Amino acid sequence: LQLGEKYIQPETKEVNGILVTKTMSENWDNIWNFQARPDDLLIASYAKAGTTWTQEIVDMIQNDGDVQKCQRANTFDRHPFIEWTLPPPFNSGLDLAEKMPSPRTMKTHLPVQLLPPSFWKENSKIIYVARNAKDTVVSYYHFSRMAALLPTPGTWEEFVEAFKAGKVLWGSWYDHVKGWWDAKDQHRILYIFYEDMKEDPKREIQKILKFLEKEIPEEILNKIIYHTSFDVMKHNPMANYTTFPISFLDHSISPFMRKGMPGDWKSHFTVTQNEEFDKDYQKKMAGSTLTFRTEI
Ligand code: A3P
C-alpha cells in the first residue's frame, strides 16, 4: 500500500459482537492488553461526537493556550487513537501510544465493555463526549463517504438502518452512550455533550479545567475558545485532518470539518424516516436517565 494508491475499503469483523475493521480484530489481543498509566488521560467517544474538537481543547489547556505548540503535529499523532490499526508502514495507535512519554493523552471510540481493563485498574482520567444520535448518524454518513479507511456507507437510507441496528464500526450508538453513562458514577469519567459545548464553550471548557485540576487566566481561556471554534479549526491543518493522503480521506467528497452545527439532521431526514427513528429511539433508550438535545 503506497501513499496515493487507492486504499482498499477495509473488511470488517466482530469482536465480542462489536463491528471493527479486520486489521483491528487481528490486533485485538494487543489492544485488550494495552497498558494504561495512572497519569494517562483518555478522550473517549462514539465516532463523530466531537472527539477532535475535545482533543484540541484539551491540548490547548495542557499547553496553556500556546497555539504553536498545539500545531506541533496533527491530531492523530498528538493523541494516539489506541485501537486504530493500519497496515504497515503506517503508525497504529498502539505503537504511537507505547512510544509516547507520560503524561499521555489518547483517544478511543471503544464501547465501555471493550476498553482495555488497565484503564480501570490504573484509574486513568477519562473525558467522554457524546452527541445526539441524529446529528451523529448524519456526520458518520458523510465521514464514511469521504474516508476510504471506513467501510462504504451505501445510501443514506441504508446507512441509517445500519446505524440503528448497530452494524457500523464501533457498534451501537445507543449502547455506547448508555454504557459510558452508567460507568461514569464508578470511575473518574467526565461526561460532556457536543450540544453543550456548542451552546456555551466557556462553561464546558471550565468543566474540563476542573476535571484536569488546572487553572488558567481568563485571557487564555478566551484564547482557547477562539482557537477551538469551528471556523478556526476548519482552517488549521493540524486539526482538520487535511494532512492525510487523499486516498485515505477525500475532503472534496465531504470535508472532515463539515457543518459543526447541532440540528443539521433536519436537512437529511425525511418526515417518515424521522418518525421511525424516534420510535426506535424510544425503545432503545427506554429506562435510561440519559437525555440529548437534537438542537440548541
Ligand atoms: P459534522 O460532520 O456534523 O460537521 P469527530 O471528531 O468525533 O470525528 O467529530 C467530527 C464532527 O465534529 C464533525 O461534525 C465536525 O465538523 C465537528 N467538529 C469538529 N470540530 C468542531 C468545532 N470546533 N466545533 C464544532 N464542531 C466541530
> For residue 128, is pLDDT > 80?
yes
Interface ipTM:
1.00
* Ligand 1 nearest-atom number relative to CA 47: 7
- The residue ranking higher by pLDDT, 79 or 2, is 79
> For residue 115, is pLDDT > 90?
yes
**Spacing, Cα 257 to ligand 1 middle (Å):** 6
Kindly state the average pLDDT of the residues 92-117: 97
What's residue 9's pLDDT? Answer: 72
Closest-CA residue, ligand 1 atom 5, reads: 48
Name the CA radius of gyration of the chain, rounded: 18
Q: Confidence band (pLDDT; 50, 70, 90) for 3?
A: very low
- What is the pTM for the complete model shown? 0.97
Closest-CA residue, ligand 1 atom 17, reads: 260
- Sign of the dihedral through C-alpha 258, 178, 80, 72: positive
Q: Confidence band (pLDDT; 50, 70, 90) for 88?
A: confident
The DSSP bridge pattern shows strands 18-21 and 12-15 to be antiparallel
C-alpha dist (Å) from residue 187 to 113, 213, 272: 13, 16, 40
Which tens digits make up the pLDDT trace of 179-220? 999 999 999 999 999 999 999 999 999 999 999 999 999 999
> For residue 5, is pLDDT > 80?
no
> For residue 6, is pLDDT > 90?
no
Cβ of 139 below 6 Å from ligand 1: yes
Which tens digits make up the pLDDT trace of 244-284? 989 899 999 999 999 999 999 999 999 999 999 999 999 99
Cβ of 43 below 6 Å from ligand 1: no
**Spacing, Cα 258 to ligand 1 middle (Å):** 7
142 catalytic? Reply is: no
Kindly state the average pLDDT of the residues 37-64: 98
Among 2-11, 72-81, 140-149, 232-241, the minimum mean pLDDT is found in 2-11
> For residue 81, is pLDDT > 60?
yes
> At a CB cut-off of 8 Å and minimum separation 6, what does 291 contact?
none
Which tens digits make up the pLDDT trace of 132-190? 999 999 999 999 999 998 999 999 999 999 999 999 999 999 999 999 999 999 999 99
Q: Is residue 125 within 8 Å of 44, Cβ to Cβ? A: no
What's residue 8's pLDDT? Answer: 60
**Spacing, Cα 51 to ligand 1 middle (Å):** 7
- Give ∠ CA 250-167-246 in degrees, rounded to 5: 10
Among 79, 109, 176, 227, the active-site one is: 109
Pocket test for ligand 1, best of 170, 258, 264 (most atoms within 8 A of CB): 258
For the chain, the three-class secondary structure string (H helix, E strand, C coil) is CCCCCCCCCCCEEEECCEEEEHHHHHCHHHHHCCCCCCCCEEEEECCCCCHHHHHHHHHHHHCCCCHHHHCCCCHHHHCCECCCCCCCCCCCHHHHHHHCCCCCEEEECCCHHHCCCHHHHCCCEEEEEECCHHHHHHHHHHHHHHECCCCCCCCHHHHHHHHHHCCCCCCCHHHHHHHHHHHCCCCCEEEEEHHHHHHCHHHHHHHHHHHCCCCCCHHHHHHHHHHCCHHHHHCCCCCCCCCCCCCCECCCCCCCCCCCCCCHHHHCCCHHHHHHHHHHHHHHHCCCCCCCCCCC
Q: Confidence band (pLDDT; 50, 70, 90) for 1?
A: very low
* Ligand 1 nearest-atom number relative to CA 232: 23
> At a CB cut-off of 8 Å and minimum separation 6, what does 12 contact?
19, 20, 21, 22, 151, 169
Rounded Cα gap, residues 185 and 173, in angstroms = 20
Closest-CA residue, ligand 1 atom 8, reads: 48
* Ligand 1 nearest-atom number relative to CA 228: 23
> For residue 286, is pLDDT > 60?
yes
Rounded to the nearest 10°, the torsion over CA 109, 40, 132, 287 is: 90
Pocket test for ligand 1, best of 230, 249, 296 (most atoms within 8 A of CB): 230
What's residue 144's pLDDT? Answer: 97
Q: Confidence band (pLDDT; 50, 70, 90) for 2?
A: very low
Amino acid at 45: S
Best CA proximity match to 98, nearest among 116, 123, 114, 110: 116
Closest-CA residue, ligand 1 atom 19, reads: 53
